[in-house]
Chain A
Amino acid sequence: MKRKLSIIITILMIGMLGVIVSGLTFGDPVDHPMDRYFIENSQEESGANNVVTAVLFDYRGFDTLGEAAVLFTAALGASLIFRKRRDD
């Protein structure tokens, strides 16, 4: 009984996901004025040919700084947990 119910719920969930996804427009994004701005002005404002890098290191530099700090903290925590113990 429980097994049948779980199977029915799973099928319902997959069907709902299919209905939701079929309504999305992949590969056809809405033309947003901010996208236009980045594509047209990022070369002369940041000096980089790659728009993605210009956004990553110039417009959203604080985001990259936070990512680097998160990675630093992760390495710090991993080396702290797996450190060599003296009593081994």
Chain B
Amino acid sequence: MQMSSIVKTTADVLFPFILIYGLYIILHGHLTPGGGFQGGAILASGVLLLLLAYRYSESTNIVRQVMMKTLESTGLLLFIIAALSAMVLGAGFFFNWLSPLGSIFGDSVAYGSTVANLNTGGLIPIMNIAVGIEVVGAISVILLALLSGIQEKI
């Protein structure tokens, strides 16, 4: 069954905004409420909007299952590599070695309740991004697998 053009246009218009909102939730995970899991779920809801608005064969031209599987594996690998990278320097697993260095995400935090700085947090924002990539990949793979069984009349 074909969705009406109202649904398709709404999905097309809303999709970039959902994408931006999800990326904002992931990137500001160490400053505001939210984080990798929540932002990844929001991004996956945008993917679900596209999957429901278009026919399965149409939408899988844009949302490929191989791409989502790659994203999922990349996210988990990035998370484990970020956790392991502290052990190269002789610290423990998950040690936040990037935090006071002054390089990427390395500004020192202003203590107390002050204006938040995005460039803080060390390894935590990187892990947030990794978990966000993994969650959007995993939920999209599950949705694609579940929706592939529906018989569509053309």
Contact = CB atoms under 8 A, between A and B. Distances in A.
A50 B33 contact: yes
Given A46-B124, A53-B29, A68 B76 contact: yes
B80 A58 contact: no
A50 B29 contact: yes
A58 B96 contact: yes
Contacts of A49: 30-31, 109, 116, 120-121
Given A47-B96, A71-B134, A75-B137, A53 B72 contact: no
Interface residues of A, number: 30
Interface stretch (A1-9, A13-21, A30-38, A76-84): A76-84
A87 interface: no
B79 to A, nearest CB: 6
A74 interface: yes
Contacts of A46: 96, 99, 121-122, 124
22 contacts: A46-B96, A46-B99, A47-B109, A48-B109, A49-B116, A49-B120, A50-B30, A50-B35, A56-B35, A58-B124, A62-B94, A68-B75, A68-B134, A71-B134, A71-B139, A72-B134, A72-B138, A75-B69, A75-B139, A75-B141, A78-B142, A82-B149
Interface of B: 29-33, 35, 37, 65, 69, 72-73, 75-76, 79-80, 83, 93-94, 96, 99-100, 108-109, 111-112, 116, 120-124, 127-128, 131, 134-135, 137-139, 141-142, 144-146, 148-149
